[in-house]
Structure 1
Amino acid sequence: MFGRFLLLSLLALPLVEIALFIVIGQTIGLVPTLLGVLLTAVIGGLVLRWQGMAAVNEMRLRMSRGELPARAMGDTMLIGLAGVLLLLPGYFTDLIGILLLLPWTRELIYRLLARNFRVVEVAPGSYRNTQPDLIELDQDDWRTR
């Protein structure tokens, strides 16, 4: 079900972008529309550079303190996706990219994901066999006395 929704969304995305481009172009004119697309692409590149590095540094800091950087990894992923969406030409992807940059939007995404996933932490430890010592031999490896 989700696969079909994703496929239909990816097929509809160019149509939505073209329709928005036409509507915005008719409203504000061709040159401002093109400048808006170029501006958001530049902003997307800057976001990827600045915010992405800040999120990676936050991840490193948490790992050096021995903490699990799950939230920082999620932020890094969503901020990176936002930057890529801002780089893509089109106003719909720009809107989604801008929304992903907002902390409250990322919090909403985390809450939605938390409903559907269970977090399990695994700690290192040693295995201890509780069975008695058992030596397995082939028929040829032993003889009766």
Structure 2
Amino acid sequence: MKKIIPLLIITPILDLYILIKASQAMGFWTTVALIILTAIAGYYLAKSEGKLVISKINRELSQGNMPGDDLLTGLCILIGGFFLLLPGIVTDIIGITMILPGTREMFKQYAKRKLEDRIRKGYTNIIIRW
């Protein structure tokens, strides 16, 4: 939580600064159009990637397997889609990297390391209910 709070403060400030500079360079309406287009493109990208992951999760579950990796993939797509809906260039870059399969892996590996760390230190209880 100590790392998230500064990010929640710095990211909008950085986004606002970049948007002002982009608006000065390209014009206000061009910048607004760019923001809207990235949100629309991000929505469709997240939707198509999300459908693929949901079908993989359903396939794994029907075979009796736990879809752990696919659940992390789905979480990355969900968070990435949220970032793409926020106006700003920094948030768009973060969102796109979380949705695209090639760059999404680094987020998944980071999440896996953090989860393993918390389990090893005893901070996380895993409860499986049937």
TM-score normalised by the chain length of structure 2 = 0.80
Q: Is the 8 A contact 2:79 2:95 kept in 1?
A: yes
Pick from 67, 91, 94 the counterpart of residue 92 of structure 2: 94
Structure 1 residue ranges without an equivalent (≥5): 125-145
* Cα distance change on mapping 1:49 and 1:113 into 2, 3 Å: closer
Residue 123 and residue 81 in structure 1: after superposition, are their counterparts in 2 closer, same or farther (change >3 A)? closer
Deviation at 1:68, TM superposition (A): 1.5
Identify the residue that residue 35 of structure 1 maps to in structure 2: 33
Indicate how the Cα distance of structure 1 residues 104 and 50 shifts in structure 2: closer, same or farther if over 3 A, else same: closer
1:115 to 113, 116, 119: 113
Q: Relative to 1, partners in 2 of residues 1:46 and 1:7: Cα closer, same or farther, differing over 3 Å?
A: same
Deviation sequence 1:17-64 (CA, Å, 0-9, x none): 110101111122212111000001111222332221221111001111
Identity of aligned pairs, percent? 26
Instruction: State how far apart, in whole Å, the 2-side matches of 1:48 and 1:102 are.
Output: 9
2:2 to 4, 15, 20: 4
Matches of 1:45 and 1:117 in 2, distance apart? 28
Contact residue 42 and residue 96 of structure 2 kept, 8 A = no
1:26 match: 24
Q: CA RMSD in A?
A: 2.3
User: How do 1:1-145 and structure 2 match up within 5 A?
Assistant: 3-118=1-116
Q: Deviations over 1:99-145 (max 9, x none)?
A: 112223222223333434338x9999xxxxxxxxxxxxxxxxxxxxx
Larger Rg, first or second structure (1 or 2): 1
Residues 80-103 of structure 1, C-alpha deviations (whole Å, 9 max, x = no match)? 111111111111100101111222
The answer (yes or no) to whether the contact 2:80–2:99 under 8 Å persists in 1 is: yes
TM-score by length of 1: 0.73
Specify whether residues 85 and 113 from structure 1 end up closer, same or farther in structure 2 by C-alpha distance, changes over 3 A only.
Answer: closer
Question: What is the CA–CA distance in structure 2 between the aligned matches of 1:85 and 1:11, rounded to whole Å?
Answer: 15
